[in-house]
Amino acid sequence: MSSGQAPAQSAITLEGGDDTILPFSVEPLDLRGRAVRLGPSIDTILRRHGYPDPVARLLGEATALTALLGSSLKGEGRFQLQTKTDGPVGMIVVDFEAPDRVRATARFDASRVEALGARAKAADLIGEGHLAMTIDQGPAQSRYQGVVALEGQGLEEAAHQYFRQSEQIPTRVRLAVAEQVEGGEQRWRAGGLLMQFLPSSPERMRQADLDPGDAPEGHERLDETTLPEDDAWVEARSLAATVEDHELVDPAVSSERLLYRLFHERGVRVFEAQPLVEQCRCSRERVLGMIRSFSDQERRDMVADDGKIGITCEFCSRHYVVDPAEAQGETGAASGTSESRH
């Protein structure tokens, strides 16, 4: 899941738009990456369900991370980030469908979230469990899933752990979410930065923070602190460490401006920005297919007092009403309706 390089270079401008993913490279540092800036899309996702502020911030981070990772897909494909844990936020699901669609949802225990307070940390909200990242590029290619154990760390560190263990690519991720006043109204914003060290020589990609494991008998175990990191990667990490949260979400600091601040001395190049839209994958056909996958008894149990089956999408809150006969695929059944409840 390396970031790669976008095909078309774009001149750096200081005016950048929201809901965009901007690829970049810093060739003297063998660095590739992407910056994401989310505005109306993340505000729609978070306000639709009225999440408590701590849950909204966590889901905003997960959405920014998914956009950074999913946008590496070439052509059509789907990237999904999902957590399943014992914390107050028991599950997060974010879907990125190439080239530009994203949706997200979270399940949480309201009383446990409230008990942690308004400034609850992501690690406390998540708890322990696992984070799964799934890439599905259609029937012609194998489906891939990487899993990271969540043991009290936040999403940034979980992403670092994933790349150390699964792809062994030196990677740094920065994520930020904030609620800001825009036009007299409170609106959610999110941003993120992903950097990867991709030199031409694989030897230069060795990471000091990888566990070297048990040495063979008769050989000393190499202490990980003795394995030097490449100077270019050390410089890149040091620069990334200077990024403050407000720089990732401030509408006055475009992605182009931020990258210029960080890397102008090294000659940063940016490429064509990729737009991002909040859009759900649900449809009447998908709902019918899901209902038909259940047994006859299970479908009968779904029927409400009005004689209909009601299904509400967890992502977009659209409500579908289905006639049981239609769910069985009977010819001539009355067509159902859908209601939008946002």
Query: How distant, in Å, are the alpha carbons of 89, 179, 309, 318 from that of 107?
Result: 6, 21, 22, 17
Per residue in 82-104, pLDDT tens? 999 999 999 999 999 999 999 99
Whether residue 342 has pLDDT greater than 50: no
Alpha-carbon span 43 to 200, nearest angstrom: 40
pTM (predicted TM-score): 0.83
Most confident residue range from 171-175, 229-233, 285-289 = 171-175
Q: Options 3.55.30.10, 3.10.20.600, 2.60.120.20, 3.30.70.3420; which CATH number does 20-207+229-278 get? A: 3.55.30.10
Higher pLDDT, 250 or 217: 250
Per residue in 101-129, pLDDT tens? 999 999 999 999 999 999 999 999 999 99
Query: How distant, in Å, are the alpha carbons of 27, 69, 94, 194, 225 from that of 72?
Result: 19, 6, 15, 11, 32
Per residue in 218-255, pLDDT tens? 444 444 444 578 999 999 999 999 999 999 999 999 99
Which residues neighbour 299 within 8 Å (Cβ) at sequence distance 6 or greater? 291, 309, 324, 327, 328
Q: In the chain, what are the domain boundaries?
A: 20-207+229-278, 284-328
Average pLDDT of the chain is 86
- The sign one gets for the Cα dihedral 184, 185, 186, 190 is negative
Does 3.90.1280.10 match the CATH number of domain 284-328?
yes
Per residue in 3-52, pLDDT tens? 544 445 544 444 458 999 999 999 999 999 999 999 999 999 999 999 99
Give the neighbor-by-neighbor strand order of the sheet with 144-151. 144-151, 128-136, 78-85, 91-97, 101-107, 277-278
